[in-house]
Structure 1
Amino acid sequence: MEFIYPCKNGNESWNGSINVLSESIPYEFEVNARGSNFHLLVGKHAYGNYLCIPNWGIGTELSHLSDQFWNTERLKSEYPELSNPDVISIVNALDVMQHGQFDDSSGGH
């Protein structure tokens, strides 16, 4: 399943696409936005949620998938090599997946 989602950063906006690869934990999907491609693995552990992006060497904890502020700050502080549009694209995709597909109500910060 693939669908388009909106991203916004200040006055700038763009569309990204999400291709769902697995709807079971760990959730797996590809995100494409503004020329960047991210292979996301999202799952749960005893203390919350996590995000791995193997094709970028990224692995970190997440809050709830819809917590854009916390997840944005986490990615920016832990992975400063990510551009701001890339972070926004990833975090907005997580939020869309939370509201459209997956339930992370059992964990997060």
Structure 2
Amino acid sequence: MELKRMQPPYELELSARGHRFHLLFGKHTYGNFLCIPNWDIGCELADYSDIFWNTERLSRHMKKTDAISVAQALAVIREYLN
């Protein structure tokens, strides 16, 4: 996992379960967002630490196991954000 920027929007390269996820995430007027361009995914998120809600949201676009990996990575990286 490598965080590219330390100010929003954030950019993260995540390798999990043999897959690569290019994560772009940050805040907008109504909350948080996540884009994974190399998977053609974009969605809104709860707080980055809300693994359950974010997993459910991401599961609409990818396998649940991959959604869990991404949601857990966001929860961990939250501690390092501004």
Place the TM-score, normalised by the shorter chain, in its bin: over 0.9
- Normalised by the size of structure 2, how large is the TM-score? 0.94
Match status 1:94 vs 2:74: yes
Answer whether contact 2:55 2:64 (CA < 8 A) is retained: no
Match for residue 37 of structure 1?
Answer: 20
Give 5+ residue unaligned stretches, structure 2: none
Q: Percent identity?
A: 51
Q: Which has the larger radius of gyration?
A: 1
Runs of 4+ in 1 over 3 A off after TM superposition: none
Q: Separation in 2 of the partners of 1:45 and 1:96?
A: 21
SS of residue matched to 2:7: coil
Match for residue 15 of structure 1?
Answer: none
More helix by share: 2
In the TM superposition, what whole-angstrom CA distance separates every residue of 1:31-73 from its partner, at most 9, and x where no partner exists?
Answer: 0011100000011100100000000001000000000111011
More strand by share: 1
Q: Separation in 2 of the partners of 1:19 and 1:89?
A: 15
Out of 72, 76, 93, the position equivalent to 2:55 is 72
Q: How many residues align?
A: 82
- Normalised by the size of structure 1, how large is the TM-score? 0.72
SS of residue matched to 1:49: strand
Q: CA deviation at 1:88?
A: 1.0
The 5-angstrom pairing of residues 1-109 of structure 1 reads 18-77=1-60, 79=61, 82-99=62-79, 101-103=80-82
Q: Separation in 1 of the partners of 2:31 and 2:57?
A: 14
